[in-house]
Structure 1
């Protein structure tokens, strides 16, 4: 069996590749020892042919993934052998995955391309635009348990366009921030327009993990970039509120209800539950109260915000 994944949208083609691998592991390769990956210019044709001719180990077939053959391989003799392989029946699964737009100037590559295009399991991933892009973004957000209003959706697409690698990161950021609530234009303006970088999320993770040295470095880096101190504090408060809620539910033996009650993405819950174990319930209550007091001080006094936040981290 031959499978062909190609097109300019490398994000969706990579996700499709992961989906096929996961399906193969679940249905055929229970031992997780029958997936082989060969990379473009580094492919050894003898090892590839041996892999194709070898039966699966504790499985009826193997999955052989050949990456970036069109963009990286320049050896005509090697390409001829690939073409011969495609003209033969094969019990194993051969996946050809190309991360870039295919520019066919080589005659042998053209023959390989035309052959693969005719295969039953061929997917071309073109750049998403218009209504297809909107539908993809909405579905991605809904899969994380949130929703987005139309104006927010329009603004998000204007700011990010069709770059799904960046779009995925922005969606994760928005959904994590909104905790399952509706995403509004103001949220997009706050998180996307200002390009809040990933170090803010690394910062709250460092705090949750009691990594004071890293947390001090990251918060001072953020203050130097003139990011809003109120936004930084809001994200820290939010993180410890989550830890406090998880610790409370754990003490009540209601761990099974975390996702339902907190409306958080499973990945967020998994990370937060590990962090919550590093604190007692009383410690988290005290920290949360300290943060609320810092919030009041920042809004009602002239105390230096850098000093307040550094002292808070040092006293964790």
Structure 2
């Protein structure tokens, strides 16, 4: 069952007895569990009605025993069990034994007074396992997938509307770029921007520049975007800021190499007919990052990208062996790249 349908059912008072939440989008997963909690449990009952377990520290049998126990002073209870790795193909490092037959038996006759939520930090489930098939058959498995670039833009615009302001088109993309498409970061930044611009206003790219903090990785990402689009002055301002923050030039070069490696991978996968979503899954990136990398890669041939990777490997060697001043080497590389 997809998350939207599961949420509609929950809000209509039709909660399933068991949910298995998985996927890369942890923020949406937390929102889902919060909506489920709010719809099932009165605020004054949460202390008695919500139990949380970590399956890396406690057995599945103990979780199900709690689920079967009658609630205390409340009509319904919610049991949340995280780190349910036994639903995936991952090898568990814990010595805790989980008897999945116990869960199979529970699913045949789940407690009417309890909703059980399992969460697992994994993009996929092991569908060869009978228990996974059983949960999918009863539509209890709810995936939380990364939003596509278009969905991400709509999500940002909707969040801004909820807070009474809007973004210019370019500002939306810039905010997503600066946060790497992370919903937790986006939510926090949108809240901050709403307080700054006020109701009925519009947030511009200049406001995003002023207010949104960027990680080193995001700064390098933007630096390359500026180089690709021949915005040299801005690219070198970003480089200067990174150096003022005492970022190691070798680390900056490594991050630049990483981005060009992504461009090369995207270029090759695109040639093979992969969609952006498929490429994101294959490379292990957010779909928005793949979209940006795909746009960047259009400026270069596969041969050129391979040559750039070779130049970066040579620069790395020269910097590490002291054959070139690190900052000078980095600046010269960026100038050659822009040329």
Bin of the TM-score, shorter chain as denominator length: 0.5 to 0.7
Q: In structure 1, how many angstroms separate the alpha carbons of the residues matched to 2:109 and 2:117?
A: 15
TM-score by length of 2: 0.51
Equivalent residue of 1:14, what SS? helix
Which deviates more, 64-73 or 182-191? Answer: 64-73
C-alpha contact (below 8 Å) 1:4/1:123 kept by paired residues: yes
- Give the equivalent residue in structure 2 for 1:145: 164
Structure 1 pair 9–74 and aligned structure 2 pair: CA distance change class (3 A): farther
Structure 1 pair 192–78 and aligned structure 2 pair: CA distance change class (3 A): same
Which of the residues 175, 178, 190 maps onto 2:210?
190
- Give the equivalent residue in structure 2 for 1:246: none
Equivalent residue of 2:41, what SS? helix
Check if 1:93 corresponds to 2:108: no
C-alpha contact (below 8 Å) 1:5/1:96 kept by paired residues: yes
User: 1:247-267 CA distances to partner (integer Å, 9 max, x unpaired)?
Assistant: xxxxxxxxxxxxxxxxxxxxx
Q: In structure 2, how many angstroms separate the alpha carbons of the residues matched to 1:116 and 1:176?
A: 43
Which of the residues 60, 68, 76 maps onto 1:53?
68
RMSD: 2.9
Consecutive unaligned residues in structure 1, runs of 5 or more:
196-223, 227-316
C-alpha contact (below 8 Å) 2:50/2:79 kept by paired residues: yes
- Give the equivalent residue in structure 1 for 2:59: 44
- Length, aligned pairs only: 195
- Give the equivalent residue in structure 2 for 1:169: 188
Check if 1:16 corresponds to 2:32: yes
- Give the equivalent residue in structure 2 for 1:179: 198
TM-score by length of 1: 0.54
Check if 1:4 corresponds to 2:15: no
C-alpha contact (below 8 Å) 2:51/2:78 kept by paired residues: yes
Displacement of 1:134 after TM fit?
0.7
Q: In structure 2, how many angstroms separate the alpha carbons of the residues matched to 1:10 and 1:194?
A: 21
Structure 1 pair 175–74 and aligned structure 2 pair: CA distance change class (3 A): farther
C-alpha contact (below 8 Å) 1:25/1:32 kept by paired residues: no
Q: In structure 2, how many angstroms separate the alpha carbons of the residues matched to 1:157 and 1:167?
A: 7
Which of the residues 125, 131, 148 maps onto 2:150?
131
- Give the equivalent residue in structure 2 for 1:157: 176
Q: In structure 1, how many angstroms separate the alpha carbons of the residues matched to 2:75 and 2:41?
A: 12
